[in-house]
Amino acid sequence: MQGFTPNTDFSELHSTMRAIELASNSIQMQISPAASEAIILSLGQSSQPYKTCQFILENSLVATARFQAAAAIREAAIREWGFLNADDKRSLISFCLCYAMQHASSPDSYVQAKVSSVAAQLMKRGWLEVVAAEKETLFYQVNQAILGIHGVDVQFAGIKFLESLVSEFSPSTSSAMGLPREFHEQCRRSLERDYMKTFYQWTQEAASSVTNRIIESDSVVPEVKVCTAALDLMLQILNWDFRSNTSDTKINVFSAGVGQDGDSFRRPECHLVQPGSDWRDVLILSGHVGWLLSLYAALRPKFTYEGYWLDCPIAVSARKLIVQFCSLTGTVFLSDDGKMHERHLLQLLSGILEWVDPPDAVSKAIENGKSDSEMIDGCRAILAIANVTTPCVFDNLLKSMRAIGTLTFLSMWMSEVIKVLITRNTEDGTWSWEARDILLDTWTALLMPINTITVNDLLPSEGIKAAANLFGFIVECELRMASASAFNDEGDSDYLRASISAMDERLSSYALIARASIDVTIPLLTHVFSERVTRLNQGRGIIDLTETMEELYSLMLIIGHVIADEGEGEMPLVPNAIQTQFVVNSVEADKHPVILLSSTIIKFAEQCLNPEMRDSVFSPRLMESIIWFLARWSSTYLMSSDGIGEKILDSGHHYEHSSKKVLLSFFGEHNQGRVILDIIVRISLITLTSYPGEKDLQGLTCYMLLHSLVQQRHICVQLVALNSWHELANAFSTEKTLFLLDISHQRSLAQTLVRSASGVRNSEESSQYVRNLMGHIATYIVEMSSKSNLKNVAQQPDILLSVSCMLERLRGAASASEPRTQKAIYELGFSVMNPILVLLEVYKHESAVVYLLLKFVVDWVDGQITYLEAQETAAVVNFCMRLLQLYSSHNIGKISLSLSSSLLSEAQTDKYKDLRALLQLLSSLCSKDMIDFSSDSIEAQGTNISQVVYFGLHIVTPLISMDLLKYPKLCHDYFSLLSHLLEVYPETFAQLNSEAFNHILGTLDFGLHHQDVDVVSKCLRALQALASYHYKETGNGNIGLGAHAMGLKDSSGEVQEGLLSRFLRSLLQLLFFEDYSSDLISVAADALLPLILCEKGLYQVNDSS
Amino acid sequence: MSDEEHHFESKADAGASKTYPQQAGTIRKNGYIVIKNRPRKVVEVSTSKTGKHGHAKCHFVAIDIFTSKKLEDIVPSSHNCDVPHVNRTDYQLIDISEDGFVSLLTENGNTKDDLKLPTDDNLLTQIKEGFAEGKDLVVSVMSSMGEEQINALKDIGPKN
């Protein structure tokens, strides 16, 4: 072989081998691993080490040394591939291949596997340059091996080689070769088009050739290994991401076969196998599936024998392949109305049934110690089938064999699984959990399309019945689990939100099942719910009701999911099944099952208004579920603004949604809506006043229920007309108990109440409403700040608490600012401007209060700034500057210390939050120049926003230490503001005094070398803006950045470089010599151009040097 | 947890007038609380329920503001806790005596000489060095339940 070091003689080869052997051994024994590693690495890195490596492979007795030699061949060959001549390449590949085959029966099979994978990688490397004939020769050898001519071991090695070849060619598992993605893609396409099917056929033949031996023998024979490998390879090939049938042959897989309907609605994670029509003969017509099923059927009786068991490799592989075949779909089947596909699925199903039927017997066997793998794989198979069929096709499959449909069977099967789940009451992770989840997914896959598109007859009537039965059983079991767990005290994690989000997926699947048979399930739920309520009423004061309460809690969650969807920020519609499945005439609206159910629950909830009932029945947890339900229910049904929802819906479907109309009009503004709204408000008031210290409950009331009510104006109109709403507003202003709410809840409540002002008739009255609501709070702050002994009393805990409450309420009101109430809220804030400064002085050591003060100002300014007239703007800007200066004077140069490191880090965090608020304040001020609704220009009052903000930044910047910039959010805010300023107001920047100017330059420099790409690109954008500004201005004969751009002499007489040349230098330095993200290239280039244009001279000098 | 423990009236000692009763549910992180008769700063609050259908209770983790000892307490949220009155006053530093006491200038022009230098090394060196360099230093003194300690320092510029 020319090219290999010609003068290598035997002794040299031998000594290298010894060295590698030694190194390999010492690595294993962990003796000086670094040195040994270096020796081994040097082999792969040396030039053309092939002969040495081959020598080692053939002669070394140390397996790890052989392994390292194979790795070295791979490394060197991939690196030197371009220099090797065709013969070398060919001989390397065939050496590896032959080696793997010849040593197939040797021990240390990992060496053979490695060599075989090296062969596969080299083959792929040369794939596009080698002519077909050459590949044929190589593959001929492989084929011979796979056919079993050279014995079982070589057959196994051949299959394994194909396995590594296929995995090399699959993009997700390929090894890196330092080549463009295009190369990998071409290889993938070529293999898929020309070889994949052939490989599959060879494997098939190999597997069939050993099948008889396996079936006939009662003990494990060597052929089992071959068969397992063949099954694995088939699975791997079927897992291939087939694309040729979709793009190249231009066959739309979605239009072929009945099984495709509604695929687009299915969840994306379900994996479909779509090899295309070319594969029909191999996969379908050849009786391949029949062979596979009979192989597995023949294996099953052997599981009691020595060497076989339910989870032995061949059984696992066979089951996996069977499950994979269930996902087969697309043009591989004839487009004969899905007949061929159905036959295929039926054949599979009949095999799979053996594993799981009858479910009760199988589950009993598993509980008695049998492995659960067949059960779980059976669940997976049925899920796969559900993913490729419509509910009708799915249901019909079983009917040809049994008296019942598949849906009925699925329902029985799942009931059995749930039964085991609750009787054993086991922990997460057991088989019944897993089986339950997979089967629930199966239902979801079947029912999801029906839920989203309006088709009435998609589900066969028996299937509806099956779903109804299953749902009934699910409810029964959930209730049983609820009552069993009523006394479990699982501690703090078990509050409503956590438990809902954990259960959410399950509950949504339950809801789908319930909606499939909605006309049965709704009355069922009504019945079960009323029964529990009766039990509560009868047992009250006599027996312990905890179990019933927990059952109601759980029912509330289930019902909420069944009858309403989560809006996710949008307005949820009435679920499709409820819209279409009920035929009701509008006269008998109160007999509509959903109305009955809703009314029952609301009536029950209303009982909490009675103090006696409240104490004995309505526990905080039960109330949480009630509030959650009311929030979810009301956003779908309560005074749903029919107009919008109907239009969207009717545009698509021309159904007479009588059911929906009846529902919405019943709960509409002119019917029961007002009464129910009143009840909801009263219940909310109760949770806020009569459940002291129940933060979670009150949080739900404030954030979920009340907050969502005031989002729609027409509901606000109703709200402000209700006495109960005024009671709530009064309680908010005067009631002591509401001051005991969590202060952030008070803020939310203030926001909600102020927002409801949008329902007041005109803007005059809404302003009055806001004044009534908030006026006394402002008065309190004003009076407090003018107290002569303020300094003494301010730090008393009671004063501290009430000041905090008031500030949070003010902030809530400020954040609810709308055009209508803007004036009133401006006055509110204006009246407390000075008091705020007084309080900031008094509470300078009380970081919590300082933060509240700042946040109020931030929210107030943010809500107001765009509306303010010139004079008001001047007042606000002036106030903000005083605030900044005062804050700065308290904090600059301050060193707080504490013995406790956690208190210290808290103090640091407080500072960070303060500064972030201040930066937000400056950003809000900045926005005045962008959006302004006022009638006159603010310049009239001599307010220059850019100067103000630069000044503000000048005050804030010294407070921002390097440590604080480690908080990513603060860092981002800071650099966003800075780059915004430099981009928009370069002229103001040019006028800054040199101290402020240099500080900003320093910051920019710091930002350029920051780790965060975002920060760097912000700085680059700022630089670009500065340089472009300077270039344009000087082009027009102006001074631009003037003296700053030139060099300056500092106080000590040394010449300081001008800023542009300084940044040109540091940017070039960054680009040429430092590591930076490729995302920055474009921004960096944008910044570089104007810099070069400004500093041509410097650039050229640097260039030439 | 019995109710008596959280009744403010039952604390008849000298510290009583320096604490205020406040509902446990309203005490937030970074607020103050009295646990085992010491003023502490709350660093962690979590709520849980006494049994599934029981009432909420607050779990506090708090740090002694003077000694930095950490302590935990569980109180039903609707019950009252004692909250200490924590005061902080700024004084100008006039002198540091040999025996480790500082002399501070009060607002009404008197001096306050009963405070020791802080034990914290960092703060101590800052005070000593700053004072030696002739800087104008303002120390802030935290006091609560009859105890006092210097806890912060501010440099308001060189002495004239």
Helix (H, G, I), strand (E, B) or coil at A388: helix
Contacts of residue A542, Cβ cutoff 8 Å, sequence gap at least 6: none
A1046: exposed, middle or buried (Cβ count in 10 Å: 0-12, 13-18, 19+): middle
Burial A698-726 (b: 16+ CB within 10 A, else e): bbbbbbbbbbbbbebeebbbbbbebebbe
pLDDT in tens, A424-447: 765 555 888 889 889 999 998 888
Q: What is the rounded end-to-end Cα distance, in angstroms, of chain B?
A: 58
Burial A49-76 (b: 16+ CB within 10 A, else e): bbbbbbbbbeebebebbbbbbbbbbbbb
pLDDT at site A385: 93
* Interface list for A 723-782 with B (CB within 8 A): 740-743
B8: exposed, middle or buried (Cβ count in 10 Å: 0-12, 13-18, 19+): middle
Residue type at A540?
R
Contact B155, B136 (CB under 8 A): yes
- The more confidently predicted of residues A55 and A902 is A55
Residues of A in contact with B83 (CB under 8 A): 797
Burial A781-792 (b: 16+ CB within 10 A, else e): beebbeeeeeee
Out of A158-167, A665-674, A863-872, A979-988, the most confident range is A158-167
Out of A654-663, A970-979, B1-10, the most confident range is A970-979
Statement: residue B5 has pLDDT above 80 = no
pLDDT at site A255: 33
d(CA A650, CA A657): 9
Secondary structure (DSSP) of A679-735: HHHHHHHHHHHSSTT-HHHHHIIIIIIIHHHTTSHHHHHHHHT-HHHHHHHHHHHH-
Query: Does B68 reach chain A within 8 Å, measured CB to CB?
Result: yes
Distance from CA of B9 to the nearest CA of A (A): 16
Nearest Cα to Cα of residue A466 among A373, A531, A399: A399
Helices (H), A82-195: 86-102, 109-125, 132-147, 152-169, 181-194
Query: Does A798 reach chain B within 8 Å, measured CB to CB?
Result: yes
pLDDT at site A1055: 59
Statement: residue A551 has pLDDT above 70 = yes
d(CA A300, CA A322): 14
If you count them, how many residues does chain B have? 160
Average pLDDT over all residues of chain A: 84
pLDDT at site A260: 34
Statement: residue B43 has pLDDT above 50 = yes
pLDDT at site A204: 92
Sign of CA dihedral A126, A132, A137, A138: positive
pTM (two decimals): 0.83
Across the interface, do B122 and A897 touch by the CB < 8 Å criterion?
A: yes
pLDDT at site A519: 87
Q: How confident is the model at residue A898 (pLDDT cuts 50, 70, 90)?
A: low
d(CA A1029, CA A1086): 13
pLDDT in tens, A1015-1060: 888 888 888 888 888 888 888 888 777 766 666 555 565 556 777 8
pLDDT at site A586: 60
Best residue in A747, A903, A914 for a mutation probing chain B (most B CBs within 10 Å) = A903
Beta bridge partners of residue B56, listed in sequence order: B49
Q: How confident is the model at residue A497 (pLDDT cuts 50, 70, 90)?
A: low
Statement: residue A995 has pLDDT above 80 = no
Out of A248-257, A503-512, A971-980, B30-39, the most confident range is B30-39
Q: How confident is the model at residue A543 (pLDDT cuts 50, 70, 90)?
A: confident
pLDDT at site B158: 52
Across the interface, do B49 and A895 touch by the CB < 8 Å criterion?
A: no
Strand order in B87-96's β-sheet? A894-896, B147-158, B135-144, B87-96, B101-105, B111-116
d(CA A928, CA A938): 9
Statement: residue A463 has pLDDT above 80 = yes
pLDDT at site A587: 63
Query: Does B22 reach chain A within 8 Å, measured CB to CB?
Result: yes
Q: How confident is the model at residue A651 (pLDDT cuts 50, 70, 90)?
A: very low
pLDDT at site A827: 93
Q: Which residue has the tokens 């295309």?
A: A276
Which residue segments constitute the domains of chain B, with CATH numbers given? 19-84 (2.30.30.30), 86-155 (2.40.50.140)
Instruction: Give whole-number Cα distances, B121 to A896, A897, B138, in Å.
Output: 13, 10, 18
Contact A773, A756 (CB under 8 A): no
d(CA A157, CA A141): 12
pLDDT in tens, A1052-1085: 655 567 778 888 888 888 877 777 777 788 888 8
**pLDDT over 70 percentage in chain A:** 89
pLDDT at site A682: 96
Contacts of residue A938, Cβ cutoff 8 Å, sequence gap at least 6: A870, A873, A874, A928, A932, A945
pLDDT mean over A359-377: 89
Contacts of residue A768, Cβ cutoff 8 Å, sequence gap at least 6: A824
Statement: residue A221 has pLDDT above 70 = yes
pLDDT in tens, A763-817: 889 999 999 999 999 999 999 999 988 888 888 889 999 999 999 999 999 999 8
pLDDT mean over A965-984: 86
- The more confidently predicted of residues A491 and A510 is A510
Q: How confident is the model at residue B15 (pLDDT cuts 50, 70, 90)?
A: very low
Distance from CA of B98 to the nearest CA of A (A): 23
Nearest Cα to Cα of residue A364 among A274, A442, A279, A424: A424
Query: Does B125 reach chain A within 8 Å, measured CB to CB?
Result: no
Q: How confident is the model at residue A679 (pLDDT cuts 50, 70, 90)?
A: very high
Best residue in A489, A805, A898, A914 for a mutation probing chain B (most B CBs within 10 Å) = A898
Statement: residue B83 has pLDDT above 50 = yes
pLDDT in tens, A176-185: 888 888 888 8
pLDDT at site A589: 74
Q: Which helix (H) or strand (E) is A1051 found in, with range?
A: none
Contact A553, A625 (CB under 8 A): yes
pLDDT at site B11: 38
Q: How confident is the model at residue B6 (pLDDT cuts 50, 70, 90)?
A: very low
Secondary structure (DSSP) of chain B: --SGGG-GGG--SGGGGGEEEEEGGG--TT-EEEETTEEEEEEEEEEEESSTTS-EEEEEEEEETTT--EEEEEEETTSEEEEE--EEEEEEEEEE-TTSEEEEE-TTS-EEEEEEPPS-HHHHHHHHHHHHTTEEEEEEEEEETTEEEEEEEEEEEE--
* Phi, psi (degrees; rounded to nearest 5) at B101: -95, 155
| R_g over Cα of chain A | 38
d(CA A718, CA A726): 12
Q: Which candidate from A693, A847, A898 shows the least CB-CB separation from B25?
A: A693
Q: How confident is the model at residue B98 (pLDDT cuts 50, 70, 90)?
A: confident
Statement: residue A938 has pLDDT above 80 = no
Nearest Cα to Cα of residue B139 among B119, B120, B122, B156: B156
pLDDT mean over A596-601: 94
Domain ranges of chain A: 269-450, 465-642+658-687, 999-1104
Contact B84, B34 (CB under 8 A): yes
Contacts of residue A88, Cβ cutoff 8 Å, sequence gap at least 6: A1, A3, A50
pLDDT in tens, A238-261: 988 887 655 443 333 333 333 333
Q: How confident is the model at residue B17 (pLDDT cuts 50, 70, 90)?
A: low
pLDDT mean over A752-766: 90
- The more confidently predicted of residues A864 and A267 is A864
Query: Does A958 reach chain B within 8 Å, measured CB to CB?
Result: no
Beta bridge partners of residue B144, listed in sequence order: B147
Statement: residue A890 has pLDDT above 50 = yes
**pLDDT over 90 percentage in chain A:** 35
Burial A126-153 (b: 16+ CB within 10 A, else e): bbeebeeeebeebbebbbebbebebebb
Q: Which residue has the tokens 């509030």?
A: A627
